[in-house]
Chain A
Amino acid sequence: MFDHVDRFSSLGGKLVIKLGAVAVIIMMVAILVQVIASRVGVTTILDINGAWPVFGPAVTLNSLTDLQWYLLAAVALLPAGVVWLRGVHVRVDFAYSAMRPRGKAAVDLAGHAIFALPFLVLMIPDAWELAARAFARGEASPNGGLTDRFLPRGVIPIGFGLLLAAILFETWLILRNWKRTDD
């Protein structure tokens, strides 16, 4: 069971990071196209007549601006869980690094229970509700940008949902290995 979860999460993690990397590259291309189009004075770049999802009637300068921050929102929050499990998040570790393995595990468990869980459990349902409301109302750009504002709004509950999953997974690992952890 443990090996399956572990393998699944690391494969999934790699996939999320790779998709994010592609999003970063698209972001760069969108900026390039936008810079060129705005300098030559084109505002409607491609008339697609609603053929593409999210883009609405046409690809405009505003839709490229929107595209960049839609992608930013996704890159910023969807990998939150993966990044958490990779252990790169900053901690002030001058006390922590001096602790024995079991002390470190205790700090992490206490931190999960006192800080991370209340925060995530409190915010995720609200974030989900805001995204659902944007979906129901068909929230979109008021000035010819992208439609479907529920997508960047939905990034908050999904990204933090994945972070919650990562933290629960880590909690389970710590508890599972507790007996084998040295004092």
Chain B
Amino acid sequence: MIEHSVAILMAVVTLTGILMGYRVAMVLGGAAALFILFTDTPVSFFKLLLSRIYSNVLSNWLLVAIPMFIFMGHILEKSGVAETSLKAAQRALGGTPAGMCVSVMLIGVLLAASSGIVGASVVLLALLALPRLTEVGISNSVSAGLITSSGTLAILVPPSIMLIVLGDQLKVPVGDMFAGAILPGLLLVGLITIYMLVRTRGLTGTATIERAPLSQTLWRLGPLILLIICVLGSIIGGLATPTEAAGVGAFGALVIALLYGKFNGTLVMEAAEDTVIATSMIFVVLVGATCFSAVFRKVGGEDAILDLIGLFGTEAWTVIFVVMGMIFLLGFVLDWLEITLILMPIFGPLVATLDFGNGLSGNDLMLWFGILVALNLQTSFLTPPFGFSLFYLKGAVGDKLQTTEIYRGVVPFILLQLLALGILLLMPGLATGLRP
């Protein structure tokens, strides 16, 4: 304990700042500065950090994919293309309680694969689906859980910004991360479907939905699905880098908007302005967390964490359970971005040395680990009190859902996420099987 006192103090100061509600990006940067000033770390350490920020963050061409995917998502969202497609899918899937639930989730998948913005997905699903779900007799809490967990698929299903940052940190090619997330994503979708089929048994309500002819459904859904296939296919198939695919994908989104007669200059500028705000937010956190992470390691934080894990044991499966448990617990208060940036440089090298007896090593091992972390971090969007998706839902529906209903409703879906995590632990092939 004594030899780790500085690292523990740094963690305590940081968590206190975060829990008091000061903005996280500056808590991280500030903690880095304080512990350079008040320990024997030379002040010139900051120059080293700045060089690292310049070479790993700012001049990292891969990260150009981040604003481009955000831009693509905002174009699809603001032009109403996402909404039109959603409605088409809703009509196609229909009016029974089970059909409604499955359609909400499939639309979640579609939104995830095209826009990948959790906030937009949850809000859109809430506005479109909540009235219909209530109509067919599904309780408020189940609806809340379904909407938040379907919307949160956006962070797991590729193209996802989280997978890009995770791949970058763990040195796994982004194409592999994208391919690796597909089967676990589908597994989760399957689990939620089964759960919803069970929950809706005995409900007999029907929703008032006009059926649409197949041709219209295809016209409304086709271009979006084609865009998804092109963007993901070219990355996973190795035909394009993530940055190229993201840029071309953003252009494709503009073409679709044009096709539906929704294209105009204001739309493009608004989507681009929102992209600037989101990008700047992410990168200020990236800078803050990069500084925090380096100073935390400098004051012995890495050893402290490794020793903490060591208290539970050194056997590979024990280590991975402890690591996953720590990520899950931190997910209650921290965001995926900070967890990834602070802990992956510590956990990555640790896990790389382990033998799980499942034949995984090298890149396959890191890919499996990366997807496990992704699935785990996705859960952090759902865990009260600080789950992003819960905020977005509450923000979108206002008083139609009580906070307690949302908290209660999300619990079974968190358990389903953990079940998926458990299955992926036992079946690494789900992550490594589709690797090109």
A binding-site residues for B, Cβ under 8 Å: 17-18, 20-25, 27-28, 30-32, 34-35, 65, 68-69, 72-73, 75-80, 82-84, 86, 88-97, 99, 104, 107-108, 110-111, 114-120, 122-123, 126-127, 129-130, 152-153, 155-156, 163
Contacts and interface: CB of A to CB of B under 8 A. Distances in A.
Given A72-B58, A77-B280, A118-B30, A27 B21 contact: no
Given A86-B277, A94-B386, A27 B67 contact: yes
B328 interface: no
B244 interface: yes
Given A122-B33, A127-B50, A21 B273 contact: yes
A129 B285 CA distance: 23
Contacts, number: 206
B376 to A, nearest CB: 19
B29 interface: yes
A45 B124 CA distance: 43
B33 A119 contact: yes
A93 B385 CA distance: 9
Nearest to B59: A69
A83 B22 contact: no
A25 B272 contact: yes
Contacts of B419: none
A93 B387 CA distance: 11
A119 B23 contact: no
Given A17-B273, A95-B20, A114 B284 contact: no
Contact of A91 (B21, B50, B269, B283): B21
B206 to A, nearest CB: 39
B27 A79 contact: no
A27 B58 contact: no
A99 B34 CA distance: 26
B244 A107 contact: no
B29 A116 contact: yes
Given A73-B58, A75-B67, A119-B30, A91 B248 contact: no
A77 B37 CA distance: 25
Contact of A31 (B37, B248, B283): B248
Contacts of A35: 240, 244, 247-248
B19 A92 contact: yes
Given A119-B32, A152-B54, 9 more contacts: A21-B275, A32-B251, A75-B275, A77-B58, A77-B283, A90-B335, A115-B27, A118-B37, A119-B33
Interface in B257-298: 268-269, 272-273, 275-277, 279-288, 291
B30 A76 contact: no
B163 interface: no
A28 B46 CA distance: 33
Interface in B218-254: 240, 243-244, 246-248, 250-251
A94 B385 contact: yes
Nearest to A34: B244
Contact of A69 (B24, B33, B64): B64
B247 A28 contact: yes
A69 B61 contact: yes
B280 A130 contact: no
Contacts of A21: 269, 272-273, 275-276
Contacts of B247: 27-28, 30-32, 35
Nearest to B60: A69
B365 interface: no
A125 to B, nearest CB: 9
A171 to B, nearest CB: 13
Interface in B43-74: 43, 46-47, 49-51, 53-54, 57-61, 63-64, 67-68, 71
A76 B17 contact: no
Given A18-B269, A111-B27, A130-B54, A28 B71 contact: yes
Contact of A118 (B34, B63, B68, B282): B34
B31 interface: yes
Given A31-B68, A72-B64, A94-B386, A119 B58 contact: no
B279 A75 contact: yes
B251 A115 contact: no
B54 A122 contact: no
B322 interface: no
B26 interface: yes
7 contacts: A31-B64, A69-B63, A75-B67, A90-B25, A119-B33, A122-B37, A129-B47
- Among B31, B32, B53, B284, the most chain A Cβ lie within 10 Å of the Cβ of B284
Contact of A79 (B32, B240, B269, B276): B276
A73 B272 CA distance: 16
